[in-house]
Structure 1
Amino acid sequence: MNLIPKIRTFKYGDFHLDLSAELKAVQADVVAKAIETNSAVELPPPPPARTLEQAANSPLASLIYSFNEVEAALNDVAKKHQIDTKSEFETHRHIMRALLEKGLVDDLTFSTYARLAELRKAVNMSQEVTYTDAVNMSVMCKWLIEKLSTI
């Protein structure tokens, strides 16, 4: 999968983030797991034109919006499975941990969420997000949403 032609890096003190490389690694893990289990790669189709337009106009806003959709899907799953979210600081991470403990999500889905959440958090500091990064984040967020919708 060569979805990420550009490399975008961010350094803040000792913290260093290569957003493009991290997104590529997340996608590679999903593909590798599919190959390992002899199942079809379950990446969603390319994003719709509206998503591409939003990524072109404001890549950072598009990336944040994509991850907000994941959080909305997690809220729906938490309600459906009566997962208490009132006492937790990192509510969505708590929901994913609870889903993992109940066997409702696999390790790949959990780790994909965790990695995308870290990327989402990190871009707040950099404000430098490319169109390609925004589109790839959207693809991986849609993959997560599809996984969550089956729970």
Structure 2
Amino acid sequence: MDWMQFVSALVSAVAWPAAVVTVVCLLKGPILGLIPKIRSFKYGELHVDLTEALQSLQEELPAAANEPDAQPEAPPPKLSVPLQIAAVSPRAGMIAAWLEVEGALNAVLKREGLDSNTHALPRQKLDLLRDAGHVNGPTYRAVLRTFKLRNEAVHMLDREIPYDDAVAMADVCARLVESISTYSKSQSDFISG
């Protein structure tokens, strides 16, 4: 093999990989621009769709007691803390909304004199409240599903979370906080009365 055959073999071996690398480099910008707009992800058996899961939870939970059905909804004069945070970072807003649910769980545990290990996992706290009769079945399941969404928001750092998803999460979490507090208070009023 002389030097011309060697160069020819080298060029033919490098041509396709070089073409692929060139195309990827040229399309890198448009591809990276599409990634934040992805609202669901599917790989094999794994399928994650935050928007769909949040809408499902919103439909399942009852409307908040202070929301009149007949009157048009007026914008609140002051946004909740999770919504204020979501305006800057939707991911952080979703986490802040979840922290209010966890705070409600801790408050009920403390008020009822149950073992309130602050280092316990939310699932353990929720199980304790359910077993003591301070959380009903639908609320229990909704809290677990919301916690799963919170985990996905925390761990899926490779995609952007839309503001609308953070607003939906804040709404779901506010309803859960109300449900946890109301159900628990009504149960303890019933037992003591």
Q: Structure 2 length normalisation: TM-score?
A: 0.61
Of 15-24 and 96-105, deviating more is 96-105
Q: Structure 1 residue 42 and structure 2 residue 42: aligned?
A: no
Decide which structure has greater helix share. 2
| Distance change (3 Å), C-alpha of 1:104 and 1:65 | same
Q: Structure 1 residue 28 and structure 2 residue 59: aligned?
A: yes
CA contact (8 A) 1:88 1:94 kept: no
For 1:106, the equivalent position in structure 2 comes to 136
Structure with higher Rg: it is 2
Return the offset for 1:42: 3.2
The structure with higher relative contact order (CA 8 Å, sep 6+) is: 1
Secondary structure at 1:83 match in 2? coil
For 2:148, the equivalent position in structure 1 comes to 118
CA contact (8 A) 1:19 1:119 kept: yes
How many residues end up aligned between the 2 structures?
136
Q: Structure 1 length normalisation: TM-score?
A: 0.76
Identity %: 36
For 2:126, the equivalent position in structure 1 comes to 96
Which one-letter code corresponds to 1:130 in the other structure?
Answer: P
Consecutive unaligned residues of structure 1, counting only runs of 5 or more, are 1-5, 32-40
CA contact (8 A) 2:39 2:51 kept: yes
Equivalent of residue 71 in structure 1, options 102, 109, 112:
102
Q: Structure 1 residue 141 and structure 2 residue 173: aligned?
A: yes
Q: Distance in 1 between matches of 2:89 and 2:61?
A: 27
Consecutive unaligned residues of structure 2, counting only runs of 5 or more, are 1-36, 68-74, 185-193
CA contact (8 A) 1:7 1:21 kept: no
Return the offset for 1:49: 2.9
| Distance change (3 Å), C-alpha of 1:145 and 1:87 | closer
Which one-letter code corresponds to 1:116 in the other structure?
Answer: T
